[in-house]
Structure 1
Amino acid sequence: MKTNNLFIGLLLFLLIPIYSCSNEENDDPVELTIAKTMLDVSYGTDAQQVFDLHLPANRSSNYTKTLILVHGGAWIEGDKADMNYAVDIIKQFLPDYAIANVNYRLASAGNYAFPMQIDDIDAIVQKLKNENYGISDDFGFVGTSAGGHLSMLYSYGYNANNDIKMVCSIVGPTNFTDPNYTNNQAWLDLYYNLTGVNYADNPTYYEQLSPLFRATTSSVPTILFYGNADPLIPTSQGVDLHAKLGQLGVYNEFNLYNGGHGDWSQTDTLDAYTKLIAFIQNKF
């Protein structure tokens, strides 16, 4: 469940600045005036528990917000490098935001995705809050595919301290109880491999993994991007969440393009990019 690089064509139009790199984890206050990149910052003991942190110049713990990028890959593959194109675009058009481009532990046989991956997302948020990076405690998510699911699930179900202020899902699953999935044996097999729980034995468990069922009246502003011919994510996944958020009175934007799992035309890709940047500027 790994998207094509949604905005990759747009990089032809960008002039990408060069930033200094460091593996240091603490920011000296003297350095807050300059941009800084920290690669493979560890937030746990596993080799996969790392993120890249891109810090803007003139940042402050009073006002600098952070966008957390979460890659896709069906919860079993993928890497933060898959989101590097988004890092470049954000640096160019949202230069005052910090960016955390994250890895999380990938599921494998007997190593279940849940709650492991949500625990990793929480550990990342806590690390960003507790270290002296010169950023505020305001965070937003941009996730693709499985990463979109994790971003929404955390934002709706685990945002007890109101640290998360917005979420973007690019072709992310929202409802694991959708008949398009539960009537498909391949998906049911994937469910079991990800959780160790048979859907038929405990459908309520799968509701708890579904952002659709975790959304409340206090959920954060949400922007959604889906394709009308996606072989992995039925249109109902986006349509139903859009309707649910509307019923709850939660601000949200829903965008549906011609095409599949992020492989849209350059015109639609540019439209999605423009809307996402505007959403971040206006709602975060």
Structure 2
Amino acid sequence: MNKNKYTRKIVVRSYGVVCVVRTNSGNAIRPIRRVLRTYLPGCEFLNTDTDAEHEFWYSWNKNSRDSLYKNNETIALRANHDHLLGSLGSAVRIAVAEYAVGRVFIHAGVVGWKGRAIIIPARSFKGKSTLTAELVRRGALYYSDEYAVLDEKARVHPFPKLLSLRGIKNDFEQVDRTVEALGGKAGKRPIPVGMVLITEYRKGAKWNPRVLNPGEGALELLNNAVPIRRDPQFALPILGNAAKDALAFRSKRGEAKDVAPLIIDMLERSQY
């Protein structure tokens, strides 16, 4: 990689993490800024002279055979601009999630219900976005379908990216939707954790929730926490505090539209 060709750059800050994206083409600037805004809600673009902890190198080529590097390593090769821009957005967002200042990022869907957060920790292809969307359709406030963002007081902050839903085109390709398109609203303020819900989709599965103790709830949050290996001393107390006063349940589930009202009913009948 000839770094001398990468004469243009964009510097962005999110949750205290500063990233620079260098590119070889002025044609890439606007698309890169657009994708960073999409993948990092509320991000701030900085002066290009600002020092950055994380550097990305985006090779924009006329034949659409683009390349993406971080720290001289190839992290993505795609056949067209759109796919590689998505890879860039994901790579920068992961860096922010891992190195965020004063925050712990957990892979999870999150909604707010009566002033408390329902966290659905899970990785991709577990159905968390689908269930998050269905709860939003039924009146829950949308916080995120990607990350639960916890501060030092274990309160959950909004990470209001577009909802990325499978099953609209096919079972694998994601389609982005605004919360308003679902008839819902987004949460605006930090709220305490009220429930940790461990669930994943299984066709034909019966909803049979088992109560978990606070330690089990904390362990599930731990298993899905992004910065846990890098800074466990910071993350562990926050995860423990998040789970200690929250309800926690585990169950496989069937279709989200069938389970969402059961979850809401369970919350209404509990001391939530």
More RCO (CA 8 Å, sep 6+) = 1
Normalising to structure 1: TM-score of the pair? Answer: 0.29
Normalising to structure 2: TM-score of the pair? Answer: 0.30
Q: Which has the higher helix share?
A: 1
Structure exhibiting the larger radius of gyration computed from Cα positions: 2
Q: Which has the higher strand share?
A: 2
